[in-house]
Amino acid sequence: MTVRIAPSVLAADLGRLAEQVGEAETGGAEWIHVDVMDGHFVPNLSFGAPVIRALRRITDLPLDVHLMVERPEQYIAEYAEAGASGLTFQAEATDHAQRHLAAIRERGMRAGLALNPATPPDLLLEVAGDLDLILVMTVNPGFGGQSYLPAATAKIRRIRALMHDAKIAASLEVDGGITLATIAEAHGAGADTFVAGTAVFGAADIAEAVRALKRACLSRV
Ligand code: DX5
Ligand code: ZN
């Protein structure tokens, strides 16, 4: 199975963003994860379109944008223009997930749906044909540096089985508390794409941190 590492710039030193993203790229990172927080859906504020635009100039890697915001539909056009490659929003933030997934695809981006730890996965079946990516939150969103919730492993496994049964050919991404100690467990449960903030940008050697996360996955297959 593919292993894709998506370092989250939430944990980067923003004064050295270009340099640190370059180091992650050197280490073999496949995507760059960008956490957008609005202070309402989650109790924290982070970045918006200007940072996505800046990242688009810094790197050629796909920008994997994660919206932790209310009314995600109001950002689709602007973030497409800013250079997002994929746009993932939280299922809990809207009653119209299908409509917004379709709108994201129409704008040429990968359409993703994120589930909070307490959100049951069955709703994925209702939008199976509109999904390019499923993001399983392995912490409650809002902050970097939290611990992986142990219950997430069984949920990843259930979602992988559901994807198999319903023939959903999407990426299965996990986000929150992914470290050298937890990545193999999430991978073993069926995740193929791994967001890592602190574990990458908190390391002294960023490129080596990306390589080590990949090794930790592959050593357990
Ligand atoms: C959490 C964000 C994550 C965060 C992960 O709300 O969605 O992407 O940056 O950070 P770590 O890897 O430090 O848990
Ligand atoms: Zn995220």
**90 with 72: CB under 8 angstroms?**
yes
- pLDDT at residue 3 tops 90: yes
Strand-pair partners of 8: 33
List pLDDT tens digits, range 63-84: 999 999 999 999 999 999 999 9
User: Which pLDDT band, with edges at 50, 70 and 90, does 2 fall under?
Assistant: confident
- pTM, full prediction: 0.98
List pLDDT tens digits, range 36-61: 999 999 999 999 999 999 999 999 99
CA of 115 to the centre of ligand 2 (A): 11
List pLDDT tens digits, range 157-200: 999 999 999 999 999 999 999 999 999 999 999 999 999 999 99
Question: In this structure, which residue's CA is closest to atom 10 in ligand 1?
Answer: 144
Nearest ligand to residue 37 Cα: 1
Nearest ligand to residue 11 Cα: 1
User: Which pLDDT band, with edges at 50, 70 and 90, does 8 fall under?
Assistant: very high
φ, ψ (nearest 5 deg) of residue 3:
-125, 120
Cβ–ligand 1 contact at 28 (below 6 Å): no
- pLDDT at residue 23 tops 60: yes
From the alpha carbon of 196, which atom of ligand 1 is closest?
12
* Average pLDDT along the chain: 97
CA of 85 to the centre of ligand 2 (A): 15
Ligand 1 mutation pick, 5, 9, 10, 45, max ligand atoms within 8 A of CB: 10
User: Which pLDDT band, with edges at 50, 70 and 90, does 219 fall under?
Assistant: confident
Mean pLDDT, range 95-119, rounded to an integer: 98
Cα separation, 26 vs 23, in Å, equals: 5
- pLDDT at residue 34 tops 90: yes
Cα separation, 4 vs 218, in Å, equals: 11
CA of 62 to the centre of ligand 1 (A): 18
pLDDT for position 21: 98
Q: In angstroms, what CA-CA distances link 169 with 92, 130, 138, 161, 166? A: 22, 10, 21, 12, 9
- pLDDT at residue 221 tops 60: no
Mean pLDDT, range 29-41, rounded to an integer: 98
In the chain, % of residues over pLDDT 90: 97
pLDDT for position 220: 64
